[in-house]
Amino acid sequence: MSQLATDALVEVRPVAATTAEAPDDARKARIESLKPLVLDALVPTASYYLLSKGFGMGTMAALAWSSVVPAARTLWSLVKERRVNGLAALILTANVVGLLASLVAGDPRLMLAKDSAITATVGIAILLSVVAGRPLMTAGLKPWVTKGNAARTAAWERLSAERGRFARLERMFSVVWGLALFGEALLRVVGAYTLPVDTMVWLGGAIAAGTITLTMFVSGGLVVGPMEKMVEADVVGVARGADASGR
């Protein structure tokens, strides 16, 4: 839901200088690192809800219009960079699944369950990306661990390249989110066919919100916290080594 620039040369400063470097530069670097996540995932998703819930546009029309950005990004990656933009392609695929599911009409329970098809598609795609060695959720994880700091970014690259515990935690983050989204979709399908329709109209949103909140808490404790400590330790180690060699 990662492209590793392991050959990039990054100047590593002593810890005191690193933590005190220009806040504006750190903010700019973090914003730049978040751009792919915003363009490929947040903009299409927000567009769908704004068009469907805010402006009352039909589901099919809202899904079609919200697919413009991820479709353009996917096509641009194929033509310009000769590779598939994983996150944009994922959102585009989920929207196509939603469009196909929207063709089903007449059964209110089936209509309630169709949103779960989109969530399940995203969850499965995230899990498959882990198997393929390119965890999709890294796009959202890396900026929060590195905080747009050059030394922390260099530490991420070194630790990830070692393919040790750090890389396992990186994969675990995507596994946690993939399983959570797929489980949430399964739970809503069960609810759509076992609970009253009126109940599931509001309960579906509550399940989604609860799943996201719980998954953020769990993934933060299991993955983000330990990865931040490993990055900080690596930065300190490199800074001390550079200081010792300079004496």
Task: Give the DSSP letter string of 233-245.
Answer: HHHHHHHHHHHHH
Residue 6 scores a pLDDT above 50: no
pLDDT digits (tens, 9 = 90+) for 74-117: 677 666 666 655 666 666 676 676 667 666 655 667 766 776 77
Contact 123, 181 (CB under 8 A): yes
First-last CA distance in the chain = 44
The pLDDT of residue 3 is 34
Write down the pLDDT at residue 10. Answer: 36
Residue 2 has pLDDT above 50, yes or no: no
Q: What is the pLDDT of residues 53-76, one digit of tens each?
A: 777 777 667 767 777 766 776 677
Q: What is the pLDDT of residues 136-160, one digit of tens each?
A: 888 778 888 988 788 998 999 999 9
Query: Mean pLDDT in the chain?
Result: 75
Tell which wins on pLDDT, 204 or 36: 204
Q: Which tokens sit at 198?
A: 């009126």
Q: What is the pLDDT of residues 159-204, one digit of tens each?
A: 999 889 999 999 999 999 999 999 999 998 899 889 887 788 678 7
For residue 17, pLDDT beyond 50: no
Q: Which amino acid is at 111?
A: M
Answer whether residue 23 shows pLDDT above 60: no
- Indicate if the pLDDT at residue 218 is higher than 80: yes
Query: What crossing angle do the helices spanning 59-66 and 68-76 adopt, rounded to 10°?
Result: 30
Q: What is the DSSP string of 4-25?
A: --TT-------HHHHHTS-HHH
pLDDT tens digits for 223-242?
999 999 999 999 998 888 77
Q: What is the pLDDT of residue 82?
A: 65
| pLDDT score at 16 | 40
Cβ atoms within 10 Å of 11's Cβ, excluding its own: 9
Does the pLDDT value for residue 121 go beyond 70? yes
